[in-house]
Amino acid sequence: MTTRVLFDVSRLMSRVDRGSPTGVDRVCLAYAEWLSDHPGVEMIPVRGRKDRLVAVDPAWFERKMRTLRARWSGGEADRPETERQRRLFAALLSPTRPAASVIDEPPPPESATPRKAAPWRVWRQYFRSEPTRAPSPVGDLYVSVGHTGLHTPAILQDLEARGIARVILIHDLIPVTHPEFCRPGDGDKHRARVRNVLRHASRVIVNSAYTGDELQAFARTEGLLCPPVHVAHLGLEPDFLQAREPRPAVPFFVHIGTIEARKNLAFLLTLWRRLEERNGDACPRLVLVGRYGWENEAVLDHLQRSPNLQGLVHQAENLPDAALAALMRDARAVLAPSAVEGFDLPAVEASSMRCPLIASDIPVHRELIGHAWLVDPLDGPGWVEAVETLARAPAALGPAYDAPTWNSHFAVVEKALGLTPVSAG
């Protein structure tokens, strides 16, 4: 028996021109591929438009999905190393301290960014959707894993009225629990989003027990019943599943993630200034890999204006998976100093590749990467000690780690969706 799944591709459609994915983008693409290939599923791509679902041309979406996979995975044969990547690796591995840091140009402040017409490639995605007057797509269940369109109840209410089951993945409740780390207004929007899910979802998937606990606590606070919750740790892409002995080199450290307030990077760069004051040109190098996000001014001030960090701290974005994995394997350690996370995919990826890992002592890290060197996110001396200890130690593999897989994730999802199991382990 074939199950017709209305899969919400709104977020993926908004990413058709993006060079590298966020963690949520990776999840959306993994679900699209899994549903497309599942023998018991007819995937019907849909997107939200004016508080209702409209169909997306399946053939067009299939091509875009394969294009995104090739672009984001970016194997060495498919995506040659760029000049910027060569400069970054050369700066990290140089036997002497470079005179200047390798830093990607940050975007202008939002208030100074003029509104531009969307490229024709982006507009094309909308014209590929059926017009609003078309009847609502019909399916057996609806799956949404990108948070898009859930801040209003109309779509979920319509599906509920038509007897279509609604399965929603919640990545975190950070805008609700820690609004100070998010754009103004994001907290209220996410609160409305989670309320709608609690009221109208048939089932909820969460990426960690911590996220599930936060969801249950929010439901109690709001006086709402919580639908059945399924905990399914996220899987990893192939490039992050293979361990390799690190090559002896000048010690450098890596942080992966959007450059935003909750990642605690201003604190990390303050520590790096202290490391430079203690060690001079022998201070280990650091590279921040990620796009510029919200409230990054303090990080930019450090990167652009601190003479102590020049030649030591670098930043890059849009690295394909193959290049990012190589960078992580050769690092003395991966750093994860976040104040709060719902899952922390880069930390799990680092553990899978047996990269040494220094991480903040927060609930989700204790759940997922308890083997890491865990330090309180505000313990400056503790972080300095951890970094200096690993910088002086010979390059070595971290402990063996039983990484979550997409197979194990989708085995849980199959049960939540009521599909005939085809995944294992």
* pLDDT number for residue 360: 98
Q: Work out the pLDDT band at 108, boundaries 50, 70, 90.
A: low
CA 80/CA 55 separation, integer angstroms: 36
Residue 116 scores a pLDDT above 50: no
Residue 206 DSSP label: E
Range of weakest confidence among 12-21, 284-293, 323-332: 12-21
Indicate whether 292 pLDDT > 90: no
pLDDT digits (tens, 9 = 90+) for 355-401: 999 999 999 999 999 999 999 999 999 999 999 999 999 999 999 99
Look up residue 35 and give its two tokens. Answer: 């549903």
Burial class of residue 154 (count of CB atoms within 10 Å of its CB; 0-12, 13-18, 19+): middle
DSSP state of 328: H
List CB contacts of 116: < 8 A, sequence separation 6 or more. Answer: none
Three-state secondary-structure class, residue 203: strand
Query: Tokens at residue 341, please?
Result: 């996370």
Q: Compute CA 71 distance to the chain's CA centroid, rounded to the nearest angstrom.
A: 16
Joined together, the tokens standing for residue 322 give: 């193959």
| Residues β-bridged to residue 143 | 7, 167
Residues in contact with 149: Cβ distance below 8 Å, sequence separation at least 6, in sequence order: 8, 10, 48, 51, 155
Report, at the CATH architecture level, how domain 82-111+239-392 is classified: 3-Layer(aba) Sandwich (3.40)
At residue 109, the pLDDT reads 57
Residues of the chain with CATH 3.40.50.2000: 82-111+239-392
Q: How far apart are CA 290 and CA 162, in angstroms?
A: 42
CATH class of 3-72+115-235+405-417: alpha beta
Half-sphere exposure of 49 (CA within 13 A, CB side): 22
Question: Dihedral angle at the C-alpha atoms of 307, 311, 313, 319, nearest 10 degrees?
Answer: 140
Separation of alpha carbons 267 and 260, rounded Å: 12
pLDDT band at 78 (very low <50, low <70, confident <90, very high): very low
User: Stretch 17-40: mean pLDDT, rounded?
Assistant: 90
Token code pair at residue 382: 């503790």
The residues with which 13 forms a beta bridge, in sequence order, are none
Percent of the chain with pLDDT over 90: 71
Residue 290 has pLDDT above 70, yes or no: yes
Residue 98's SS3 state is: coil
Angle subtended by helix axes 380-392 and 265-279, to nearest 10: 60
Q: How confident is the model at residue 76 (pLDDT cuts 50, 70, 90)?
A: very low
Tens of pLDDT, residue by residue over 117-153, are 444 444 454 444 544 445 678 999 999 999 999 999 9
pLDDT tens readout for residues 223-268: 999 999 999 999 998 889 888 888 877 899 999 999 999 999 999 9
**How many CA atoms lie within 13 Å of 382's alpha carbon, on the beta-carbon side?**
12
Q: How confident is the model at residue 424 (pLDDT cuts 50, 70, 90)?
A: very low
As a whole number, the mean pLDDT across the chain is 89
Instruction: Return d(Cα 383, Cα 344) in angstroms, integer.
Output: 19
Q: What's residue 244's pLDDT?
A: 87
pLDDT computed for residue 107 by the predictor: 61
Q: CA-CA distance, 371 to 399, in Å (whole number)?
A: 8
Sign of CA dihedral 198, 203, 205, 206: positive
Whole-number pLDDT of residue 77: 41
pLDDT digits (tens, 9 = 90+) for 143-185: 999 999 999 999 999 999 999 999 999 999 999 999 999 999 9
- Amino acid letter, 406: W
Reported pTM: 0.89
Helices (H) and strands (E) in the chain, counts: 16, 13
- pLDDT range class, residue 113, cuts 50, 70, 90: very low
| Helix (H), strand (E) at residue 265 | helix 265-279
Phi-psi sector, 134: left (phi>0), alpha (psi -120 to 50), beta:
beta
**Order of strands across the sheet that contains 313-316:** 313-316, 285-289, 252-256, 333-336, 357-360, 373-375
